[in-house]
Amino acid sequence: MRIDPENGISYEVLREAVPYTLSKGYKRGFVNFEEEVVFLVAGDKITTTIPLEGLEFSEDDPECPECGTRIQKTCRKPRKCRFCSTRIQTEVEYPSAS
Ligand SMILES: [Zn+2]
């Protein structure tokens, strides 16, 4: 992991992270799967970084049609994008897009 507690967050690690609506009370964050780290967000600030371990991510977590934020499947219904407040229709199966 390239995150050094003394030097803070590597900008590159954050830049490669994807926005995510998280479950389990974490609300919002940015996830870098390669580095296995989650940046938790409150307001417009990153408050904490936590390891990805133990959080359930899936390759078919739905995406917000408005802003592209991904939503953890384990979020309680109704799922709602916490970045732009769009309600996510999870019943619809989208073809896998790259
Ligand atoms: Zn959204």
Q: Where are the domains of the chain?
A: 1-89
Distance from Cα 23 to the centre of ligand 1, integer Å: 15
The pLDDT score that the predictor gives to residue 93 is 53
The pLDDT score that the predictor gives to residue 84 is 96
Distance from Cα 18 to the centre of ligand 1, integer Å: 12
Cα–Cα dist 52/32, whole Å = 8
Tokens of 40: 């938790």
Cα–Cα dist 69/62, whole Å = 9
Distance from Cα 28 to the centre of ligand 1, integer Å: 11
Distance from Cα 34 to the centre of ligand 1, integer Å: 23
Model pTM greater than 0.75? yes
Cα–Cα dist 93/73, whole Å = 13
The pLDDT score that the predictor gives to residue 23 is 86
Per-residue pLDDT of the chain (98 residues; tens, 9 = 90+): 455 555 667 788 999 999 999 987 888 999 999 999 999 998 888 999 999 998 989 988 999 999 999 999 887 777 899 999 999 876 545 566 55
